[in-house]
Structure 1
């Protein structure tokens, strides 16, 4: 695969929106206290414009997730399809609560998991703010074309 070609945020948002809408489920990685990866399949809901990308994912405050995010509030959301289109979204994570409910509901019915709505005792959510987005199109890779790679000015910067 050819190395990623640096691009502006607005150059990746259309492809990102298409890929996350088509694939839906993301493999999300956190790291434990020893730096070892831990993955789970999640359904982030993204708000994507040419100027901004922010995601929300409903979850539960399990001891593993709480410890991982407390130690390192960074995740990677990986999307892959059988035609080898992929998106990798590296993000800063913040725990949020009921304020994420309507945003999640824009992407799916969260009451299937939390019947009492945002007041369900085990409902929590993450806000995801990307600092790196890589788009891979399988057909382009087969032609030797580079992937598209957006990064914030520094890895501590995130999208507005």
Structure 2
């Protein structure tokens, strides 16, 4: 049974706990013919004006770049053996290489591992915020579902614009 919630705050604790525990998410995009492709990545999340905003530091691989250019919708799925799950359906938008303020902000979020346990030092893969191989995506969720494994209770939040 799925319970719809109006405010993200109603699922925030479970969202952050599950992501902090699971860490790795399967990102799914689709190509121009509607065929899915998945890869495992680590986004970080923050709350802005009461709503979740995700950030993904990644390499600009040709497949991912082509998929997002054709269709900016993506899904991030988290799962653990406890059967706890988070599914975040998002619009993924690239951050400009010139936007050093946002790039530094995301760099710092990864360092802080927000939510706890879900980040890593980006310096392990990139030279700094101006590294041309560092692609940063802003993830704007329009739907998030959390599922508690022990009883499969589900809560579903949608952004106000999606109602």
State the TM-score, normalizing by the size of structure 2.
0.84
Q: 1:22-65 deviations in whole A, cap 9, x for unaligned?
A: 11110010111111111000000111378121111111112111
Instruction: Supply the distance in 2 between the matched residues of 1:83 and 1:149 (Cα, whole angstroms).
Output: 19
1:105 to 98, 101, 111: 111
2:128 to 117, 121, 142: 117
Q: Could you tell me which runs of 5 or more consecutive residues in structure 1 were left unpaired when the two chains were aligned.
A: none
Shift of 1:147: 0.8
Matches within 5 A, 1:19-98: 19-48=18-47, 51-96=50-95, 97=97, 98=100
Cα RMSD of the aligned pairs, angstroms, is 1.7
Instruction: Supply the distance in 1 between the matched residues of 2:109 and 2:91 (Cα, whole angstroms).
Output: 18
* 1:135 is the counterpart of 2:146: yes
Instruction: Supply the distance in 2 between the matched residues of 1:56 and 1:36 (Cα, whole angstroms).
Output: 24
State the TM-score, normalizing by the size of structure 1.
0.86
Shift of 1:66: 1.3
In structure 2, relative to structure 1, the CA distance for the partners of 1:12 and 1:25 (3 Å cut) is same
Q: How many residues align?
A: 149
Q: Could you tell me which runs of 5 or more consecutive residues in structure 2 were left unpaired when the two chains were aligned.
A: 114-119
Instruction: Supply the distance in 2 between the matched residues of 1:125 and 1:37 (Cα, whole angstroms).
Output: 21
The SS at the match of 1:34 is: coil
Q: 1:89-120 deviations in whole A, cap 9, x for unaligned?
A: 11111111442322332222001111x11222
Shift of 1:152: 2.0
Q: Which residue of 2 aligns with 1:149?
A: 156
Instruction: Supply the distance in 2 between the matched residues of 1:150 and 1:50 (Cα, whole angstroms).
Output: 15
Deviant stretches of 4+, over 4 Å = none
